[in-house]
Amino acid sequence: MELHRVAAVIFDLDGTLLDSERATCGIMKEFLLRYGKVPDMAKEEKRLGQMHKESAAGIVRDYELPLTPEEYTEAIMPLYRERKCI
C-alpha cells in the first residue's frame, strides 16, 4: 500500500481564493429584507472575524429580529448552500 504525504496546505484568509464577505453581504441583504431591515455596514464591520455563533447572536440583537440565534442560523443556512458559500 502506497502512502500519500501532504505536500502543501493552503490557508485561505478570506479573499485569497474565496471572497466570502461579498457573498455574505448579498445573502445578508436578502435575508434582512424578509424582516423589513437593511444591512448596516457599521454593524457588519464589527462582526468581521467572529465565529458564527457569536455573529448570529449579534445579528439577531442588532437588527431586532424575532428569532433566536439558533433559529436565525437554521433560516439563513439554506441561502448559503444555494449559493455554494458553504
Share of the chain above pLDDT 90, in %: 45
Work out the number of other CB atoms within 10 angstroms of the CB of residue 31.
19
pLDDT tens per residue, range 16-39: 666 666 667 689 999 999 999 999
CA 51 to chain centre: 9
Enumerate domains of the chain plus CATH numbers: 20-82 (1.10.150.240)
Is residue 63 over pLDDT 90? yes
- What is the pLDDT at residue 15? 61
